[in-house]
A and B are shown apart, each in its own frame.
Chain A
Amino acid sequence: MREGARERILGRVRTALGRMPGEGAPEPPAYELVVRGPGPGPERVRLFVERFEALAGKAHMVGSAAEAGAKAREIVAGRSVVAVEHEVVRAAGVMEWDGDVRHGFATGEELRRACAECAVGITSTSYALADTGTLVAMAGPGEPRLASLLPPVHIALVPEAVILAGIEELLLRVPEPDEGTSSMVFITGPSRTADIEQILVRGVHGPGEIHAIVIV
């Protein structure tokens, strides 16, 4: 039945366009992806921080992984934490904290429960985009999808080196994102809605509070 649908739809599309089965396509229109804004360095970091904060994210600058850990701990303030298995998070010493810090899950179900129960999710980030203040989360062993999504507070540890100028630079660097991950998510500020009378409310389904601890 549905196999029939495929043939019928493709058949109608070809007839409408006057094309033959198996016909190729010319190259898509050419245009350049232009990378704008400051190159790597303090200016770029400053732009990221500025844009991230303009969206009501909270940015913090630290000088080392250890300092990042201390800053994260201060933000967590004793609440329950789910931490991802990422070298940056490990280097920050998050796994060694005492208190309710959950990590290293044996099953997906355990991870999911931890994400649903904990107050804070601590992750790293694959990339960040300076001009929009965006975190780019590519799912992988050290980057589960739910850790930056289910807890009400999200803390991302952002090494300076992963901050790119913008989406153009990202797509030049990773032209085929599907090759490395099944999920690439751009996170630009805290979860929000304006569905009731256009009044801005944060934290509707995802985290209402989001921190970027930039390690320079």
Chain B
Amino acid sequence: MKGQSSVPQAGIESTLGDARLQLAIYTATGRLIDHRKKAVSEEALPDYQELRRIAHELKRHTIENLDYYLAQVERKVAERGGKVVYCEDGAEVSRFVLELARARGERLVVKSKSMTTEEIHLNEALESGQVEAVETDLGEYLLQLAHERPYHIVAPALHKTRYDVADILTGSLGVERETEPEKQTKIARGVLREKFLEAGIGITGANFVVAGSGAVVVVENEGNARLSSSAPRIHIAVAGIEKLIPRARDLAVFLKLLGRSATGQALSVYTSFLAGARREGEADGPEEFYLVLLDNGRSKLLADRDKRESLYCIRCGACLNHCPVYRKIGGHNYPWIYSGPIGAIITPQFHGVEQDPWLPFASSLCGACAEVCPVKIDIPKVLLKLRAEVTASGARGGTERRVFRVWAWVMAHPWWYGVLGKMAAALSPRPAGGGWVNKLPGWMAVGPLGSWLKERDLPPPAEQSFRSQWERRRRGA
């Protein structure tokens, strides 16, 4: 566990000060907002709210009975000729993959986009075990070449321009500089096609694990997850234990919400429902199938009844797109690979609230995230709980608590409240002509007032508070 982090002030300021990046984030998320809005409109999906309600209920039911469904999927996968492998953490996953690769004599792994494997830094672990792991989603591939982590759950390379991409491709592959996205894509396709046909192992994530079918469901647009799961001899799907849903029919609910919430697509281009390895009579497909079920802190989250719903997330990214904070600070100022509102609620639960005590406070609690969440996670509610946990842990220091204690005492003592209000009104500078305060004397421009004035003008307190005016009016009447 790392030491306690503080607000990444430098990163935030550099993101805010980068006009190009600001435009890129704003445009990309804005487009995703528009697409989603159309896709869930009354005309396009009249039962949208009902679907959200059912999705929430289905997730709740599965999570509340998770051990039952884990046992069921284990049995079902075995029936379909595959094997479930439980892993406590990333080290266990990489050990499993490396041992399997060694036993089968495989040296090359193709990977499709998976936040779960990002979470455990699987690529690095495999590389250090002499197994090459290649990301095959275009955005992820570019980031792997650039040695960066995803900027966004759904659009990982959202922060890169075509010129950045040209630099990455030229720098890493030695190809001629090309700035047209279409041609850049072709270059990547060529390189990756070779890898797909050569690799002995394909690793995918899973958007859903269907307990009753022993199947994983992988949703994508490019075809790289289809290739990763069907071209190599071995397919390994890595999923968090929370990804389970009860039955195949429940996909009619979740698939209708996922694509629409993520990109505004009624269905993403490819949805693969994969139940075990290739069967007798099938012309192609993997000979071996493994489903890795990863805990990595999830069972710890389950223990908190009030915050358990954080595990309902289907990783659509809608909360990021709609979050005015994410849209300002981007993805890389969040301490973990999960950014935006969902990152702000799950990171502290995975890592402990003491590690990034500032994170649950980096929100105006506007609630736009909860409004668009397809599984109705009450993100502001969880943020508020986490804030209370942070203060209880003492990670914010004693001064703030003392300030709030005094403040609460004053608020419960109206006479003092009135007197202090009058004092503030008397002390406050008042710009001539009745405008707002632009600047305070140095001794006053500290703490919250100083922070406020960095960005905005400040209203002076009223010369006559409401209570004084009311009292005067009452007497006059």
Contact = CB atoms under 8 A, between A and B. Distances in A.
A63 interface: no
**Best-surrounded residue of A8, A34, A185, A189 (most CB of chain B within 10 A):** A185
Nearest to B63: A17
B69 A25 contact: yes
B248 A177 contact: yes
B115 interface: no
Contact of A201 (B160, B182, B255): B182
Give the interface size class of chain B.
35 or more
Given A26-B65, A177-B215, A171 B249 contact: yes
B250 to A, nearest CB: 7
A185 B271 CA distance: 6
Contacts of B197: 112, 116
A1 B93 CA distance: 12
B274 A176 contact: no
Contacts of B86: 2, 5-6, 9-10
A189 B27 CA distance: 25
Given A29-B57, A188-B267, A195 B156 contact: yes
Interface in B218-263: 221-224, 226-227, 229-231, 241, 246-253, 255-256, 263
A187 B272 CA distance: 9
A123 B346 CA distance: 44
A146 B284 contact: yes
A188 B223 contact: no
Contact of A204 (B66, B185, B214, B252): B185
Given A139-B283, A176-B213, A178-B80, A190 B269 contact: yes
Nearest to A3: B86
Contacts of B268: 188
A17 B283 contact: no
Interface string A2-20: 1001101110111111010
Contacts, number: 267
A87 interface: no
Contacts of A84: 283
Nearest to B246: A28
A3 B92 CA distance: 11
Contact of A183 (B24, B136, B285): B285
B165 interface: yes
A168 interface: yes
Contacts of B273: 177-178, 183-186
A178 B92 contact: no
B221 A181 contact: no
A96 interface: no
Contacts of B385: none
A196 B184 contact: yes
Contacts of A201: 181-182, 185
Interface string B163-197: 00100000000000000011011001100110011
18 contacts: A2-B87, A17-B65, A23-B67, A112-B231, A132-B267, A141-B283, A145-B230, A149-B227, A167-B252, A181-B282, A183-B274, A186-B271, A193-B138, A195-B142, A196-B138, A196-B139, A204-B224, A205-B227
Given A9-B241, A193-B138, A199-B162, 14 more contacts: A5-B86, A16-B303, A25-B65, A26-B61, A145-B284, A167-B251, A186-B267, A186-B271, A186-B272, A192-B269, A195-B157, A196-B165, A203-B189, A204-B188
The 8 A-B residue pairs with the shortest CB-CB distance in the complex, in nearest-first order: A206-B223, A178-B275, A195-B139, A144-B283, A205-B223, A25-B65, A16-B302, A12-B299
Interface of B: 24, 27-28, 31, 47, 54, 57-58, 61-62, 64-71, 76, 80, 85-88, 92, 96, 136-139, 142, 155-158, 160-162, 165, 181-182, 184-185, 188-189, 192-193, 196-197, 210, 212-215, 221-224, 226-227, 229-231, 241, 246-253, 255-256, 263, 265-279, 281-285, 293, 295, 299-300, 302-303
